[in-house]
């Protein structure tokens, strides 16, 4: 999982859009655009046929005055349902400036320093090290390494090609960033 950077000039803030019971299509559209069509939790591309949710990171804030743009993320429906139902505090927020220093990626797993309870709680809440998730991240990276070797190209060029031709096949942005040492997020174009 990578850090989510919220836009201080977001249309959500400018237009004072709030989450409400009923139709939240405009809110969802802007969040998805800001996330470049990637799920905040799985870092998988969100396509037209994917079921998605506006996720309230802290579910206890839903429909309360304290609920805001900083608490809203677009996520795929199934992973959102797998999120643990019990809220845990203290917790590392996905927008924390030191997020990627504290949530350490290593060979498919997400780790934390022993004393960092906030990061441990985030890993537990989102089941980031679920056996299936770890296996899928590792397999994806292995397949990309094999393809890069087969094509005899450098990883940056390979992923630039993937972004331009088949962006929907890209996932696990943090794993790509760490394993291939490339700025994958910056390579993905903004959605207009």
Give a three-class secondary structure readout of 118-185.
Answer: HHHHHHHHHCCCCHHHHHHHHHHHHHHHHHHHHHCCCHHHHHHHHHHHHHHHCECHHHHHHHHCCCHH
- Residue 86 pLDDT > 90, yes or no? no
- Residue 162 pLDDT > 90, yes or no? yes
Amino acid 101: pLDDT: 98
pLDDT above 70 covers a percentage of the chain that reads: 100
- Residue 79 pLDDT > 90, yes or no? no
Whether the full predicted model's pTM is greater than 0.75, yes or no, is yes
Q: Where are the domains of the chain?
A: 11-187
pLDDT per residue as tens digits for the range 87-122: 999 999 999 999 999 999 999 999 999 999 999 999
pLDDT per residue as tens digits for the range 34-77: 999 999 999 999 999 999 999 999 999 999 999 999 999 999 99
Instruction: Kindly state the average pLDDT of the residues 163-185.
Output: 97
Residue pair 26/32 in contact (Cβ under 8 Å)? The answer is no
pLDDT above 90 covers a percentage of the chain that reads: 94
Amino acid 81: pLDDT: 82
């Amino acid at each position: 999982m990578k850090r989510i950077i919220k836009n201080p000039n977001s249309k959500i803030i400018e237009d004072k859009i709030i989450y409400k019971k009923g139709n939240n299509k405009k809110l969802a559209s802007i969040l998805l655009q800001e996330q470049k069509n990637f799920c905040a939790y799985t870092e998988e591309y969100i396509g037209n046929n994917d079921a998605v949710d506006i996720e309230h990171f802290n579910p206890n804030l839903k429909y309360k005055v304290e609920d805001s743009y900083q608490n809203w993320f677009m996520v795929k429906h199934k992973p959102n349902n797998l999120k643990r139902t019990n809220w845990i505090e203290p917790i590392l927020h996905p927008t924390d400036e030191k997020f990627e220093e504290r949530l350490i990626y290593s060979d498919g797993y997400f780790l934390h320093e022993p004393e960092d309870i906030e990061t441990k709680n985030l890993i537990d809440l989102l089941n980031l090290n679920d056996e299936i998730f770890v296996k899928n991240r590792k397999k994806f990276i292995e397949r990309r390494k094999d393809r890069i070797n087969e094509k005899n190209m450098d990883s940056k060029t390979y992923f630039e090609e993937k972004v331009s031709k088949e962006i929907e096949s890209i996932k696990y942005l943090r794993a790509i960033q760490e394993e291939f040492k490339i700025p994958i997020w910056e390579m993905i174009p903004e959605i207009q």
